[in-house]
Amino acid sequence: MVITIKERDEHHMSHESSSAGIRMWDVFQGDVLVGVYHSEAEALKYKDLLESGRLDSFKKPPKR
């Protein structure tokens, strides 16, 4: 699955956030938003985690 990072544009942020100069990055897995980060570095770390498959080890088995 393709994982992409996009900087959120001012049309998708509150007026207050835009005025304060806050920048945000959205992480998408396919067409699904899976994370929002305040720094590009953190978004890239999450992308690497998703691509590595290490996140799968955090999933709990279903309860019976």
10 Å CB burial of residue 47 (0-12, 13-18, 19+) is: buried
Range of the domain at 19: 3-53
pLDDT of residue 17: 84
Kindly state whether residue 39 falls inside one of the protein's structural domains. Answer: yes
Kindly state whether residue 58 falls inside one of the protein's structural domains. Answer: no
pLDDT tens figures, 10-39:
888 888 888 898 899 999 999 999 999 999
Helix (H) or strand (E) holding 16: helix 15-19
Kindly state whether residue 18 falls inside one of the protein's structural domains. Answer: yes
Work out how many domains the chain is built from and give that number: 1
pLDDT of residue 21: 87
pLDDT of residue 11: 80
Q: In the predicted model, what is the mean pLDDT of residues 50-58? A: 80
pLDDT at position 43 over 70: yes
Residues 6+ apart with CB under 8 A from 7: 23, 24, 25, 26, 40
